[in-house]
Structure 1
């Protein structure tokens, strides 16, 4: 498999890259599209299965070249609340997604897994107080970032006829990146379904996402990933 990963220098992106290389070992190629190649961790930069392409998200020529012969795309791009009220008033990340999807269609790549947050809603969701509180708190602190996140959800969902997409909504992630995957179970579901909650293992999420590349159990769906609730069924 040849995978193109965006956001591969962030905490989640690095875990996804390492998990992909571990699962597929010598039978894969991982293409990292990054703004600054110097930020790629040394173990990934020196791996012979990794191709690093340095480019901007508004460079259609570079995006098209990166997409060549790719089987699937994972995007770990997304707005954060770090800039708070100073986040740009437009939707820059959603615009980048549009360009990425144009490049995918130009190279006949259908499979897309996009990471987002529970700010994106789904018809299958029900009321869940902790997640509603987090959603409202984030919207109050960083309204423009939430606007961009919601725009990402809309532009990805609009591609159902042409792309096999999955929108993965990550709950609040644990910060320990050295967790043993065997102890980092995550479940996929919807808000208020009695199985999901407000916390997710970053390592467990990476394992789930890489497995979903071939399992394809969540095509055209928008699950929340979280640690299982105490009363969830096995």
Structure 2
């Protein structure tokens, strides 16, 4: 399988690329700074560019069977703009042009899935995000809407509290108010869940919440 990865130099993205390669797939990663990826591999192709560079996105997506995005907004209060939301819209447009339908990405329970039942996270997390990280929340909403309003075959995993603990292999997933999903989750297990969605069809066009 040929998998295109966005956000490959982030904490989750680096783990994600390694897991995909370990599974024997080909990876194409769009990165601004190749040195930040910190490793090379014969099945890894690096495209240097930014999300504002449509040509670079086209180069990265061409020939892909699936796209995984580990992109997430900055939590710095000084961060402004809609670079990630705009870039995600471009990714979606290019995927449709290239007839690549499978997109796997990340969000948080600040955004609800229609399958959720009423839950405290729906009330508390959006309020906290608006107060503490308003620009990040706006970016996250824009990124998610770009995907969910498209006709792509998407899975967006909602995470609450990523940690740097070792992988446990214990992953809970489901919808708030229905399933027993907690908050904390190691980044290694988040990456493993995203990779598993390359072949798992349970959450097509859905936004499951996940945790350890």
Sort the TM-score into its range (normalised by shorter chain): over 0.9
Q: Does 1:174 align with 2:166?
A: no
Q: Does 1:10 align with 2:10?
A: yes
Q: Does 1:64 align with 2:58?
A: yes
Counterpart among 120, 141, 152 of residue 143 in structure 2: 152
Map 1:68-147; keep pairs closer than 5 Å: 68-81=62-75, 83-84=76-77, 86-88=78-80, 90-129=81-120, 132-147=123-138
Q: Which residue of 2 aligns with 1:41?
A: 38
| 8 Å Cα contact 2:173/2:179 also seen in 1 | no
By how many angstroms is 1:152 displaced?
1.5
Secondary structure class of the residue paired with 2:130? helix
Number of aligned positions between the proteins: 212
Call closer, same or farther: CA 1:80–1:190 in 2, change over 3 Å.
farther
- Gapped regions of structure 1 (runs ≥ 5): 228-234
By how many angstroms is 1:131 displaced?
6.7
Q: Which residue of 2 aligns with 1:203?
A: 188
Q: Does 1:164 align with 2:158?
A: no
Secondary structure class of the residue paired with 1:119? coil
Distance of 1:141 and 1:154 partners within structure 2? 21
Distance of 2:56 and 2:189 partners within structure 1? 32
TM-score, structure 2 length as denominator? 0.93
TM-score, structure 1 length as denominator? 0.85
Computed over aligned residues only, the root mean square deviation of the Cα atoms, in angstroms, reads 1.6
- Gapped regions of structure 2 (runs ≥ 5): none
| 8 Å Cα contact 1:131/1:197 also seen in 2 | no
1:80-118 CA-to-partner distances (Å, cap 9, x unmatched) read 31x22x221x42211100111111112111110011111
1:126-178 CA-to-partner distances (Å, cap 9, x unmatched) read 34436743442222111111011112221111113xx11111111211222xx
Distance of 2:101 and 2:9 partners within structure 1? 24
Q: Which has the larger radius of gyration?
A: 1
Distance of 2:189 and 2:126 partners within structure 1? 22
Secondary structure class of the residue paired with 1:213? coil
Secondary structure class of the residue paired with 2:91? helix
Q: Does 1:222 align with 2:207?
A: yes
Call closer, same or farther: CA 1:15–1:33 in 2, change over 3 Å.
same
| 8 Å Cα contact 1:191/1:197 also seen in 2 | no
